[in-house]
Structure 1
Amino acid sequence: RRLSAYNDVEPAWVPASQALKVLAWSPFPVEYLNSLHPQLEAYAALKKALAESRDALATPAPEPIPDGKIIRIGMSDERMPEIRARLAEKGFGPEGDYIPVDPFVLDTEFSARLKTYQISAGVKASGLVGPQTIRALNGEETINYAAAILNNMERLRWLPKDLGKRHVFVNQPAFSVRVMDNGKETWNSRVIVGKPHTQTSVFHDEMETVVFNPSWGVPQSIIANEYLPKLRRDPGYLDRIGFKVVNQKGKVVSSRSVNWRAYGRKIPYGIHQPPGSDNALGELKFLFPNSHDIYMHDTPNRELFEKDVRAFSHGCVRVQNPREFAAVLLGWDSAKIDEYVSTHGSENVKLPAKVPVHLTYFTAWPGEDGQIKFYADIYGRDKAMENARSAITLAQR
């Protein structure tokens, strides 16, 4: 938690004195030390990648590919043959019987392979060859990779030992959610997470309820920061857009009747948006009660899911395909989900069994192909970890 106020995790740890006692008497000290590491495939993959990254640092760098103009699809460039060769060396060579018509031209097939490499290298997956891609191909980012891998190996220690046979796994820097069943991904979707100044927290909880056609109780922070300035200028604003204002006695009042200029951050009124097509939570809300008031939900603003960087929320997690998500969690078919959304009012439906939810922050994570994918450090948490690691190293000298 010292690294970030948004870290709400309690890593399990073994006191050094206890570990030393066990090592002193154990006939299998190596096995004991290995047992203290996370027993997850992701940890083993990151550990392997760390060794490879360190080997790369010790290996003489090849002749660097020179800088130049951005190479776009259809453009010819004398650097392309070397770029093709370097990509193949890194395990991203051509698939099948692909042979370029002109090795000097960036074609669509090679651009697709380049995108896959760019994702693994933490470079924007544009499919074009720009300065960042050239630096990565030249190995100039290797030190950053090693640090990122170390950061995320440490974060794996913060996960519960048992994630749950079925669980929901949100990785904020990847802007993704996955449903895992017995270690296999059975569903995934894009998500939108918190802005840098309203970050999504890291914590673990249990999904309990799906809410169909939810109303939205506007948080006090949003009332004070976003609605209050508008209401001071235009007291009838909420009446016009169909929001309800509720006083401390639970009575609905007109927003025009309230002297909004009399209030600062503490506002003795609640604001609610009724269910509807323009409701901020969309058609569905997914509840896992927690102290952060964070939940997952639909949104009417679908266009934001097409962005590469999707940090736009006030902290909650917006899901691109909420009807699919509800069907997976409830074990219903899509027709039943559609029928509930269309014909039922606001209704809470309990899950057949609670499902563990892990809201995580990993800037390096193995993909389905085993390659480590690197993601932008959207909240600057890697730097905090590197500073902490440096401080520990200095203190131990």
Structure 2
Amino acid sequence: MAVSGAALAMPSVVRAQDSFWDMFDRDRVLRNVDQNGNTAAAQALIATNEPILSYDTAYNLQLAISQYEPFVAAGGWEETPQEAYGLKLGESRKAAIALKRRLISSGDMAMVESVSDMIDAPADAGIRAFQARHGLVVNGQVDEATWYALSVPAQTRLNQLYLNAQRVQTMAANLSERYVVVNIPAATIEAVAGGMVEQRHTAVVGRVDRATPIMASKVSQINFNPYWHVPKSLVERDLTKYMQENPNYLAEQNIHIYDGSGNEISPATIDWTNIGNAVNYMYRQEPGAANSMGHCKINFYNPYDCYLHDTPSKALFGENARFHSSGCVRVEGVNQLVNWLLRDNGDWDQNKVDMTFESLQRLDVECKARVPLHTTYITAWANKQGTVSFRDDVYQFDAQGKVTFEA
């Protein structure tokens, strides 16, 4: 979605009481606006089969830069007043005028002859388009995340375009015909073949203090209904604390403790205030609905003990900021991704994957096709229809000016 031209005159201001809107009450506005249609139109802006990471994206970013540069040179978009916070369809407030001008400037709201101080159909569509481009929950309301995204200056967005154009151009040279990309700032996963996205998944990635590492590898194996061996780092950071707060925590989570000889140990025999002692044991969570890996784990070689996996915590996929993990990547709709990764094995289809999930059978399957996997850090990209998407600089790599990353 292109920014408005630098020399384009903004629409005049018409207050609600001076316009035709005074003929209608708020309920009439709500009845006449197709909010679901506006949401669908917003999502269509970004729901293309173009990969985030490709040479085409590098080209599209250059086009976006050519549009943003003169706009920024002319002063960029107006500041969104704090009073715009909370605005939604049917509400009248002076700040709605500034909000509409902001949305028109960034190309999210269609140009109109005049703007009133009511959030009308074009403004509702504009808010939803803006939310879709910024990876936010599309609800048509200027909630906290939307207001903060609106408040980012145009110069900052242009700087993101510059930096990410370099990143994409550099990384695109390493791509093969088929690959998986985890884009950390967007918390999304794309399964790409023949230059087209065949699957796109919402993800949960590492929080700031336990960041998902940036790397390149190849998918090697699928573990169905796996055990989860609690990493030593999580025993130190989390598990000892949980046991001090709730002595039944391990039993509730179906986690068993074993010593170096494979003998099961009672939690009651461990001093949970002594971290040095607690980390000497192996902690294993049994397969099942509560298992932290969910129904599967997707393995690929890396020195970070990082992997993709299912999760029992599905609600997190619906959040704006999906940075909750300890470094591994949780995948929404992981059963479909598993089927895509195993399609060259010849004896797997979606039904077999789903039935294996439901059976709770422990099974390890080697992938005949070692599909390349890239975890990346792209905070700005554009598609061929002109939609420019932005994400927050969660790990502060933009602030550091990083173009390449150590593998």
TM range (shorter): 0.7 to 0.9
Choose the corresponding residue for 2:261, options 249, 253, 261. 249
Equivalence for 1:57: 72
Equivalence for 2:176: 164
CA shift in 2, pair 1:276/1:264, >3 Å? same
The yes-or-no answer on 1:198 pairing with 2:210 is yes
Mean alpha-carbon deviation: is it higher for 363-372 or for 86-95?
86-95
The yes-or-no answer on 1:358 pairing with 2:374 is yes
Alignment of 1:97-176 (within 5 A): 105-107=118-120, 110-120=123-133, 127-129=140-142, 141-159=153-171, 161-176=173-188
Equivalence for 2:63: 48
Equivalence for 1:306: 318
Q: What is the rounded CA distance, in whole Å, between the counterparts of 2:109 and 2:242 in structure 1?
A: 56
Equivalence for 1:29: none
- Relative to the length of structure 1, the TM-score reads 0.75
Mean alpha-carbon deviation: is it higher for 322-331 or for 207-216?
322-331
Choose the corresponding residue for 2:283, options 248, 251, 271. 271
Gap runs ≥5 in structure 2: 1-52
Q: Secondary structure at the match of 1:271?
A: strand
Mean alpha-carbon deviation: is it higher for 345-354 or for 59-68?
59-68
Q: Secondary structure at the match of 1:381?
A: coil
Gap runs ≥5 in structure 1: 1-37, 389-397
Shift of 1:129: 5.0
CA shift in 2, pair 1:77/1:270, >3 Å? same
Shift of 1:292: 0.9
- Structure 1 residues 292-342: Cα deviation after superposition (integer angstroms, max 9, x where no partner): 111011111111111100100000000111112112222343321121112
Mean alpha-carbon deviation: is it higher for 310-319 or for 144-153?
144-153
Q: What is the rounded CA distance, in whole Å, between the counterparts of 1:52 and 1:290 in structure 2?
A: 40
Q: What is the rounded CA distance, in whole Å, between the counterparts of 1:42 and 1:343 in structure 2?
A: 41
CA shift in 2, pair 1:246/1:42, >3 Å? same
Q: What is the rounded CA distance, in whole Å, between the counterparts of 1:300 and 1:142 in structure 2?
A: 39
For these two proteins, the number of residue pairs brought into alignment is: 346
* Amino acid aligned to 1:128: Q
Mean alpha-carbon deviation: is it higher for 121-130 or for 175-184?
121-130
Contact 1:72 1:106 survives alignment (8 Å): yes
CA shift in 2, pair 1:257/1:66, >3 Å? closer
Q: What is the rounded CA distance, in whole Å, between the counterparts of 1:136 and 1:312 in structure 2?
A: 20
Q: Secondary structure at the match of 1:190?
A: strand
Q: What is the rounded CA distance, in whole Å, between the counterparts of 2:149 and 2:358 in structure 1?
A: 50
Equivalence for 2:398: 382
- Structure 1 residues 4-56: Cα deviation after superposition (integer angstroms, max 9, x where no partner): xxxxxxxxxxxxxxxxxxxxxxxxxxxxxxxxxx9711211222222322211
Q: What is the rounded CA distance, in whole Å, between the counterparts of 1:304 and 1:124 in structure 2?
A: 12
Contact 2:287 2:360 survives alignment (8 Å): no
Q: Secondary structure at the match of 1:56?
A: helix
Q: Secondary structure at the match of 2:370?
A: strand
Choose the corresponding residue for 1:292, options 286, 289, 304. 304
Choose the corresponding residue for 1:315, options 312, 322, 327. 327
Contact 1:73 1:108 survives alignment (8 Å): yes
Contact 2:79 2:102 survives alignment (8 Å): no
Mean alpha-carbon deviation: is it higher for 332-341 or for 354-363?
332-341
Aligned identity (percent) is 26
Q: What is the rounded CA distance, in whole Å, between the counterparts of 2:246 and 2:54 in structure 1?
A: 57
Mean alpha-carbon deviation: is it higher for 84-93 or for 190-199?
84-93
Shift of 1:162: 3.1
- Structure 1 residues 68-100: Cα deviation after superposition (integer angstroms, max 9, x where no partner): 4443211134675776576456444559xxx99
Equivalence for 1:20: none
Contact 2:240 2:278 survives alignment (8 Å): no
* Amino acid aligned to 2:62: K
Choose the corresponding residue for 2:270, options 258, 268, 282. 258
Mean alpha-carbon deviation: is it higher for 339-348 or for 376-385?
339-348
Q: What is the rounded CA distance, in whole Å, between the counterparts of 2:117 and 2:168 in structure 1?
A: 43
CA shift in 2, pair 1:58/1:132, >3 Å? farther
Q: What is the rounded CA distance, in whole Å, between the counterparts of 1:60 and 1:260 in structure 2?
A: 59
- Over the aligned positions, Cα root-mean-square deviation in angstroms equals 3.5
Shift of 1:385: 1.4
Q: Secondary structure at the match of 2:216?
A: strand
Shift of 1:238: 2.8
Q: What is the rounded CA distance, in whole Å, between the counterparts of 1:136 and 1:308 in structure 2?
A: 12
